Amino acid sequence: MTQTIIMAIQVLPRIKDGNTSVLIDKAIKEIKQSGVKYRIGPFETVMEGNYEKLMQVIEQVQQTCFNAGADKVLVIAKIERRKEGDITIEEVMGKYGG
Protein backbone atom coordinates (compact mmCIF):
# COMPACT_ATOMS: atom_id res chain seq x y z
CA MET A 1 0.00 0.00 0.00
CA THR A 2 1.24 3.48 -0.84
CA GLN A 3 1.58 6.13 1.85
CA THR A 4 -0.89 9.03 1.78
CA ILE A 5 0.66 12.47 2.19
CA ILE A 6 -0.57 16.04 1.92
CA MET A 7 0.99 18.60 -0.37
CA ALA A 8 0.23 22.30 -0.58
CA ILE A 9 0.99 24.01 -3.88
CA GLN A 10 0.96 27.59 -5.01
CA VAL A 11 0.96 28.00 -8.79
CA LEU A 12 2.29 31.26 -10.20
CA PRO A 13 2.09 31.27 -14.00
CA ARG A 14 3.56 34.15 -15.97
CA ILE A 15 2.32 35.43 -19.30
CA LYS A 16 3.58 38.47 -21.20
CA ASP A 17 0.25 39.79 -22.36
CA GLY A 18 -2.86 38.61 -20.62
CA ASN A 19 -4.58 37.84 -17.39
CA THR A 20 -2.84 35.28 -15.17
CA SER A 21 -6.10 34.59 -13.29
CA VAL A 22 -7.35 32.74 -16.38
CA LEU A 23 -4.31 30.46 -16.15
CA ILE A 24 -4.86 29.90 -12.43
CA ASP A 25 -8.47 28.95 -13.15
CA LYS A 26 -7.21 26.37 -15.65
CA ALA A 27 -4.69 25.05 -13.10
CA ILE A 28 -7.44 24.61 -10.50
CA LYS A 29 -9.64 22.86 -13.06
CA GLU A 30 -6.79 20.43 -13.74
CA ILE A 31 -6.51 19.66 -10.02
CA LYS A 32 -10.27 19.13 -9.78
CA GLN A 33 -10.20 16.73 -12.72
CA SER A 34 -7.23 14.77 -11.35
CA GLY A 35 -9.34 12.79 -8.91
CA VAL A 36 -7.21 13.63 -5.86
CA LYS A 37 -8.75 15.03 -2.70
CA TYR A 38 -8.06 18.77 -2.48
CA ARG A 39 -8.94 22.01 -0.71
CA ILE A 40 -8.56 25.40 -2.33
CA GLY A 41 -7.38 28.24 -0.11
CA PRO A 42 -6.75 31.91 -0.81
CA PHE A 43 -3.01 31.42 -1.39
CA GLU A 44 -2.52 27.73 -2.11
CA THR A 45 -4.29 24.47 -2.79
CA VAL A 46 -3.79 21.46 -0.52
CA MET A 47 -3.96 18.02 -2.10
CA GLU A 48 -4.00 14.54 -0.58
CA GLY A 49 -2.70 11.37 -2.17
CA ASN A 50 0.44 9.37 -2.74
CA TYR A 51 3.64 11.21 -3.65
CA GLU A 52 3.83 9.94 -7.22
CA LYS A 53 0.23 10.89 -8.04
CA LEU A 54 0.58 14.38 -6.55
CA MET A 55 3.79 15.02 -8.50
CA GLN A 56 1.96 13.87 -11.63
CA VAL A 57 -0.79 16.42 -10.89
CA ILE A 58 1.83 19.17 -10.52
CA GLU A 59 3.31 18.22 -13.89
CA GLN A 60 -0.16 18.28 -15.49
CA VAL A 61 -0.91 21.69 -13.92
CA GLN A 62 2.30 23.14 -15.35
CA GLN A 63 1.60 21.71 -18.80
CA THR A 64 -1.95 23.08 -18.70
CA CYS A 65 -0.58 26.56 -17.94
CA PHE A 66 1.95 26.30 -20.78
CA ASN A 67 -0.75 25.11 -23.17
CA ALA A 68 -2.86 28.12 -22.16
CA GLY A 69 -0.07 30.58 -22.98
CA ALA A 70 2.19 30.80 -19.92
CA ASP A 71 5.81 31.71 -20.63
CA LYS A 72 6.93 30.19 -17.33
CA VAL A 73 5.35 28.64 -14.26
CA LEU A 74 6.62 28.80 -10.69
CA VAL A 75 5.23 26.11 -8.38
CA ILE A 76 5.89 26.33 -4.66
CA ALA A 77 5.21 23.03 -2.90
CA LYS A 78 5.08 22.02 0.75
CA ILE A 79 4.88 18.36 1.70
CA GLU A 80 3.81 16.81 4.98
CA ARG A 81 4.37 13.11 5.52
CA ARG A 82 5.02 10.68 8.31
CA LYS A 83 7.90 8.32 8.78
CA GLU A 84 5.26 5.57 8.74
CA GLY A 85 1.56 5.70 8.04
CA ASP A 86 -0.79 8.07 6.31
CA ILE A 87 -1.67 11.69 6.94
CA THR A 88 -4.90 13.31 5.73
CA ILE A 89 -6.24 16.81 5.24
CA GLU A 90 -9.01 16.15 7.76
CA GLU A 91 -6.54 14.99 10.38
CA VAL A 92 -4.50 18.19 10.06
CA MET A 93 -7.45 20.58 9.68
CA GLY A 94 -10.09 18.82 11.78
CA LYS A 95 -9.51 20.77 14.98
CA TYR A 96 -10.05 24.00 13.00
CA GLY A 97 -13.43 22.93 11.66
CA GLY A 98 -12.09 22.11 8.19
Does pLDDT of 98 surpass 90? Answer: no
Average pLDDT score over the chain: 93
Q: What is the pLDDT of residues 43-76, one digit of tens each?
A: 999 999 999 999 999 999 999 999 999 999 999 9
Q: How confident is the model at residue 78 (pLDDT cuts 50, 70, 90)?
A: very high
Which residues sit opposite 7 in a β-bridge?
47, 79
Residue 97 pLDDT > 70, yes or no? Answer: no
Question: What distance in Å separates the CA atoms of residue 33 and residue 61, rounded to the nearest whole number?
Answer: 11
Q: How confident is the model at residue 3 (pLDDT cuts 50, 70, 90)?
A: very high
Amino acid in the structure at residue 27: A
Domain residue ranges in the chain: 5-90
CATH architecture of the domain 5-90 equals 2-Layer Sandwich (3.30)
pTM for the predicted model, two decimal places: 0.90
Alpha carbon distances (Å) from 45 to 21, 42, 71, 97: 15, 8, 22, 17
CB 69 within 8 A of CB 57: no
Q: How far apart are CA 89 and CA 71, in angstroms?
A: 32
